[in-house]
């Protein structure tokens, strides 16, 4: 680890700026290469899968002459490399083509579907992090106690139970039996006509327009799938928090702090957690990115019109424009979140501030 | 044991979702759909276009059937006939080539524009010139882009004339005109939305006949008008007050995309939807037992079949084809995987179609099958593969078939695949055995006869790729017979010809037809007048009301 600590303090500010700029540049190069790679891989996988994309447009019953004509119209008779070139050219102009399944431009579809997923994933991650971190800390502090065991069981179940099964079970209980939550989709039928979303984030839109009943309805729709996703990220986050905390609690500075007579609360929450927080950011960010990919099964079970459902549906129907467009958006989000957590890392950990 | 697990898991779940519970305590009880709105949970993800000249998907057929009118419609009281819809009367010229339709007086589109013979002519013209998947239903009468304006024309405001190239059976022509592709569109409205197109070798015309707009737009005159279609989300229809027939009882019908049977069941039980449309046998059972709910079903023109590729030398032996028909456990299938969603049906014409034949001679008989296999010189059995798409009920049917074939020494290897994937392989004739379903394209015996019993050119370059072609079944005699049945004027004689064809196919074909699909629906008991029709475009919703 080479630092600029030894240099004169005068040049420190500008050196830091240069370091930051160069790391951003490096990041951009990596991001662009990743994009192109992603594009190429998805494109070629899409073309070699043993599915005839014309089937997606026409279905099984179209007569042979229509099939042939459509193949030409879709440019599928061109050499593969030419098809790829055309695709990349269009993609660079922001044109990802038209989805054959929905007949909309792919970007229009994604602009509709993605907010639904972001809303769900954000709420899910909030639930997961707000409950998972304290649970993990408790489990680490009371290692071997009954609390630790409970947290372990929660984690195990979260790891091992299929989400669609738990989803259905939750629906039976909270929706069918107890009638606490609503289902399916994002809003009740009655609001479909009275409510015009602006951003696509229904909770925010409803708040912004001061439509309290819509907010309440949207909340009743989102809370169950969000809790479910939250539970699964909770399982992951609490396990990781526990092991990071155990690691920190065994460090010498904890012993030193204890020797100084600091209160246990302060040692755990102020010192140990502060240090464990650095790797935690990566864990939470990765889990968030995972949810942003769209939890296909959750979206299916809850009829949630998000990006996961959109891409899966498109993939099953060999709607390659939609799949490619969706993959690139998700790729960007992944890269973006990685960048963000990298930056947060630097803020939280003084040692990585200047490299 | 299971109960303990369940209890444990729900307790854990309770802990996990405790927050939502706390936040939502005191939320209102049972959901109810609005009194003037019908809400159906329906897998509508197959819809790709709402243009009747283009759409050929099953869910779209239902929407088109409710939102557009035709010259003639299937007569639901006797589905081997048609009755007038927009047409008041029609006549056929003595040479059997010219059909003249007289429109009812005072007809109006939902837009308020009058319905004239010119609208009918334009609808035919655009369907033929666009030449999308369903265009052949009209095109098969010798109509093409060059002659359509002559062959389908308005004589005056209320008289439409349709000229065919051969003296076909009138029942055939009229049945085809009851298909959704012949739906009448509002020419004036559509023409306001046409987009310019650069003509090419494949498409000679300078405009798109409003196709881009009609994909999501609406220009019809049916009992309902299409208000909105959002792909994979929802279809909304509203009552059309200009409708010429009995007005719709409800103001609005909403199809909500729900893919999952169990999800539909839950939403139906909770009252969030009024009708659940894609139910699997176990959910159907549960709904039938619920006091607030009821179920209904109707046979649809779709048959499930197993087909044997004749390129495989073992499967090409007549004895093997016969033997396999004895190796399906028809009864076991219909009491388990197909319970409530299918009925045994071994002939290629579905019930309700002119010429249907209700004969199911094959039963599960291992001894007989073994005898036949021995005759074919395969007493010790053989190995063969089957492509199966990974959805129910075909997966379950394939597993049952694997087991019953095994009893006769035939080793079946199942190749599971995604729907489009197995279909691609099937269409290229690269399979051994395929299991799938076939829905008729239009409500006439020729639709299925053509695909199951004709194969004009069995070479790999063959242009007419019927199911017989896909299985390399070369049948010049049956092909001729199928063509002859098209020209038989007398409906009774025509029916007899199809029955004869069906017996021959039943006996010799590489198709093991197993059952005819029953479409099922679960509904809330407060619904009145809900009925499923004999085809997907006759699932009419206008006479449904709520109590």
| pLDDT tens, position by position, A265-304 | 888 888 888 888 888 888 898 888 888 876 788 888 888 8
Which pLDDT does position B10 carry in this prediction? 38
Rounded average pLDDT per 10-residue block, chain B, 547 residues: 36 39 41 86 87 91 97 92 95 96 96 97 96 91 95 96 95 95 97 92 90 94 94 91 96 90 90 92 92 93 94 95 95 90 93 92 95 93 92 89 95 88 88 92 93 93 88 95 93 95 95 94 95 92 94
Question: CA–CA separation, A83 vs A47, rounded Å?
Answer: 10
Which among B9, B132, B424 has CB closest to A55?
B424
Which among A63, A172, A181 has CB closest to B20?
A181
A60/B contact by beta carbon, under 8 A:
yes
For chain A positions 258-317, those within 8 Å of chain B (CB to CB) are 300-303, 305, 309-310, 313, 316-317
Cβ contact A244:A217 at 8 Å: no
- Count CA within 13 A, CB hemisphere, residue B398: 24
Q: And the tokens for B272?
A: 């969030």
Which among A56, A73, A172 has CB closest to B202?
A73
Q: Which residue in A113, A101, A83, A112 sits closest to A309, CA to CA?
A: A113
Residues of B in contact with A73 (CB under 8 A): 202
Question: CA–CA separation, B72 vs A199, rounded Å?
Answer: 46
Question: CA–CA separation, B78 vs B61, rounded Å?
Answer: 20
Question: CA–CA separation, B344 vs B360, rounded Å?
Answer: 8
Q: And the tokens for A322?
A: 């939609």
Which among A66, A230, A300 has CB closest to B133?
A66
Which among A60, A173, A176 has CB closest to B270?
A176
**Res A3 pLDDT > 60:** no
| Mutation for testing the B interface, residue in A47, A51, A168 having most B CBs under 10 Å | A51
Cβ B424–A50 below 8 Å, yes or no? Answer: yes
* Mean local confidence (pLDDT), A169-178: 86
Residues of B in contact with A168 (CB under 8 A): 262-263
Question: CA–CA separation, B152 vs B154, rounded Å?
Answer: 7
Q: What is the mean pLDDT of chain A?
A: 83
Which pLDDT does position B301 carry in this prediction? 86
Pairing type for strands B383-389 and B433-439 reads: parallel
Which pLDDT does position B118 carry in this prediction? 97
Q: Which residue in chain A is spatially nearest to B139 when comparing CA positions?
A: A63
Cβ B133–A60 below 8 Å, yes or no? Answer: no
Q: And the tokens for A14?
A: 């500008």
Question: CA–CA separation, B481 vs B486, rounded Å?
Answer: 9
Residues of A in contact with B136 (CB under 8 A): 63, 66
A52/B contact by beta carbon, under 8 A:
yes
Which pLDDT does position B31 carry in this prediction? 63
Residue corresponding to tokens 């155990």: A246
CA distances to A294, A331, B427, B432 from A38, rounded to whole Å, are 18, 8, 31, 36
For chain A positions 227-246, those within 8 Å of chain B (CB to CB) are 227-228, 230-231, 234
Q: Which residue in A284, A300, A286, A170 sits closest to A234, CA to CA?
A: A284
Q: And the tokens for A69?
A: 């004509």
**Cα dihedral sign for A347, A348, A349, A350?**
positive
Which among A56, A183, A310 has CB closest to B272?
A183
Cβ B266–A175 below 8 Å, yes or no? Answer: yes
Q: Work out the percent of chain A whose per-residue pLDDT is above 70.
A: 94
Spell out where B462-524 has E strands: 511-524
Q: And the tokens for A184?
A: 């399916």
Beta partners for B42?
A: B257
* Mean local confidence (pLDDT), A254-261: 87
Cβ contact B49:B229 at 8 Å: no
| Mutation for testing the A interface, residue in B17, B205, B416 having most A CBs under 10 Å | B17
A73/B contact by beta carbon, under 8 A:
yes
User: Distance (Å) from the C-alpha of residue A194 to the closest C-alpha of chain B?
Assistant: 14
CA distances to A242, B1, B11, B491 from A150, rounded to whole Å, are 13, 21, 12, 75
A111/B contact by beta carbon, under 8 A:
no
Torsion of CA B481, B482, B488, B493, to 10 degrees: 80
Which pLDDT does position A12 carry in this prediction? 61
| Cα-Cα end-to-end distance for chain B | 44
User: What 8-state DSSP symbol labels residue A305?
Assistant: -
Q: Give the contacts of A210 (CB within 8 A, at least 6 positions apart).
A: none
| Mutation for testing the B interface, residue in A180, A193, A296 having most B CBs under 10 Å | A180
Q: Which residue in chain B is spatially nearest to A150 when comparing CA positions?
A: B12
Which among B48, B263, B421 has CB closest to A301?
B263
Q: Which residue in B523, A262, B540 sits closest to B531, CA to CA?
A: B540
| Mutation for testing the B interface, residue in A303, A307, A311, A315 having most B CBs under 10 Å | A303
pLDDT in tens, A39-87: 888 888 777 777 777 877 777 777 777 888 888 888 888 888 888 888 8
Cβ contact B349:B356 at 8 Å: yes
Q: What is the pTM of this model?
A: 0.82
Which pLDDT does position B15 carry in this prediction? 38
Residues of B in contact with A174 (CB under 8 A): 17, 20-21
Residues of B in contact with A306 (CB under 8 A): none
**Res A206 pLDDT > 90:** no
**Res A5 pLDDT > 70:** no
Q: And the tokens for A138?
A: 């408790």
User: Distance (Å) from the C-alpha of residue A231 to the closest C-alpha of chain B?
Assistant: 6
Which among A61, A161, A317 has CB closest to B420?
A317
Cβ A172–B266 below 8 Å, yes or no? Answer: yes
């Amino acid at each position: 680890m080479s630092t600029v600590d030894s240099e004169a303090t005068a040049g420190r500010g500008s050196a830091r700026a240069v370091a930051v700029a160069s790391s951003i540049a490096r990041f951009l190069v990596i991001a662009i290469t990743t994009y192109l790679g992603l594009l190429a891989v998805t494109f070629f996988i899409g073309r070699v899968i043993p599915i005839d994309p014309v089937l997606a447009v026409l279905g099984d019953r179209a007569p042979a002459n229509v099939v042939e004509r459509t193949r030409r119209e879709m440019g599928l008779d061109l050499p593969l490399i030419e098809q790829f070139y055309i695709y990349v050219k269009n993609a660079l102009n922001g044109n990802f083509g038209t989805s054959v399944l929905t007949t909309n431009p792919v970007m229009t579809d994604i602009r509709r579907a993605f907010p639904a997923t972001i809303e769900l994933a954000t709420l899910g991650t909030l639930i997961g992090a707000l409950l998972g971190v304290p649970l993990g800390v408790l489990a680490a502090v009371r290692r071997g106690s009954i609390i630790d065991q409970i947290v372990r069981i929660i984690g195990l179940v979260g790891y091992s139970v299929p989400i669609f099964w738990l989803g259905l079970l939750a629906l039976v209980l909270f929706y069918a039996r107890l009638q606490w939550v609503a289902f399916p989709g994002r809003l009740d039928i009655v609001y479909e006509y009275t409510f015009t979303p602006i951003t696509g984030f229904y909770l925010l839109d409803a708040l912004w327009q001061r439509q309290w009943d819509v907010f309440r309805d949207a909340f009743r729709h989102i809370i169950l799938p969000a809790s479910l996703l939250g539970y699964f990220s909770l399982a992951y986050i609490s396990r990781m928090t526990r092991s990071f905390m155990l690691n920190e609690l065994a460090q010498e500075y904890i012993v030193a702090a204890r020797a100084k007579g600091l209160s246990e609360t302060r040692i755990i929450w102020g010192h140990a957690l502060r240090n464990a927080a650095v790797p935690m950011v990566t864990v939470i960010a990765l889990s968030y990115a995972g949810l942003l990919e769209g939890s296909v099964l959750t979206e299916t079970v809850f009829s949630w019109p998000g990006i996961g459902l959109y891409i899966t549906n498109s993939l099953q129907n060999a709607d390659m424009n939609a799949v490619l467009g969706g993959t690139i958006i998700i790729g960007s989000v992944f890269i973006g979140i990685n960048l963000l957590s990298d930056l947060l890392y630097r803020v939280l950990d003084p040692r990585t501030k200047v490299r | 044991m299971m109960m303990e697990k369940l209890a444990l898991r729900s307790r854990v779940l309770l802990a996990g979702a405790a927050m939502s519970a706390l936040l939502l305590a005191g939320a209102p009880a049972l959901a109810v759909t609005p009194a003037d709105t019908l809400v159906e949970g329906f897998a509508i993800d197959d819809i790709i276009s709402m243009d009747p000249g283009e759409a050929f998907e099953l869910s779209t057929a239902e929407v088109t059937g409710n939102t557009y009118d035709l010259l003639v419609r299937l007569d639901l009281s006797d589905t081997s006939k048609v009755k007038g819809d927009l047409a008041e009367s029609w006549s056929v010229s003595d040479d059997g080539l010219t059909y003249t339709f007289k429109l009812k007086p005072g007809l109006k589109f939902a837009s308020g524009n009058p319905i004239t013979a010119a609208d009918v002519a334009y609808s035919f013209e655009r369907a033929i010139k666009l030449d999308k998947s369903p265009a052949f239903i009209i095109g098969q009468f010798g109509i093409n882009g060059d002659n359509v304006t002559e062959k389908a024309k308005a004589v005056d405001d209320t008289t439409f004339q349709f000229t065919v190239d051969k003296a076909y059976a009138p029942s055939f022509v009229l049945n085809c005109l009851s298909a959704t592709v012949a739906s009448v569109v509002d020419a004036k409205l559509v023409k306001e939305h046409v987009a310019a197109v650069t003509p090419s070798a494949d498409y000679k015309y300078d405009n798109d006949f409003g196709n881009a707009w009609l994909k999501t737009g609406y220009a019809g005159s049916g009992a309902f008008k299409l208000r909105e279609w959002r792909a994979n989300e929802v279809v909304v229809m509203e009552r059309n007050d200009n409708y010429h027939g009995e007005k719709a009882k409800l103001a609005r019908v909403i199809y909500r995309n729900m893919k999952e049977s169990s999800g539909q069941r839950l939403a139906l039980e909770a009252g969030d939807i009024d009708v659940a449309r894609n139910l699997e046998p176990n959910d159907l059972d549960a709904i039938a037992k619920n006091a607030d709910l009821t179920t209904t079903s109707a046979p649809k023109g779709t048959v499930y079949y197993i087909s044997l590729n004749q390129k495989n030398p073992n499967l090409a032996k007549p004895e093997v084809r016969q033997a396999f028909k004895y190796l399906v456990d028809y009864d076991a299938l219909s009491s388990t995987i197909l319970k409530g969603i299918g009925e045994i049906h071994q002939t290629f014409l579905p019930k309700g179609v002119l010429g249907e034949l209700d004969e199911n001679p094959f039963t599960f008989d291992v001894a007989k099958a073994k005898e036949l296999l021995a005759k074919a010189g395969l007493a010790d059995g053989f190995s063969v593969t089957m492509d199966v798409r990974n959805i129910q009920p075909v997966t379950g049917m394939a597993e049952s078939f694997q087991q019953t074939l095994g009893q006769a020494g035939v080793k079946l290897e199942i190749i599971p695949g995604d729907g489009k994937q197995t279909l691609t392989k099937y269409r290229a004739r690269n399979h051994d055995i395929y299991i799938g379903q076939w829905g008729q394209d239009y409500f006439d015996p020729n639709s299925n006869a053509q695909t199951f019993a004709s194969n004009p050119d069995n070479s790999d370059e063959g242009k007419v790729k019927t199911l017989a072609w896909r299985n390399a079944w070369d049948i010049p005699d049956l092909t001729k017979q199928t063509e002859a049945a098209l020209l038989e004027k007398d409906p009774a004689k025509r029916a007899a010809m199809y029955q004869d064809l069906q017996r021959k196919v039943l006996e010799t074909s590489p198709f093991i037809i197993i059952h005819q699909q029953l479409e099922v629906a679960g509904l809330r008991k407060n619904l009145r007048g809900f009925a499923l029709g004999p085809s997907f475009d006759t699932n009419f919703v206008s006479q449904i009301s709520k109590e």
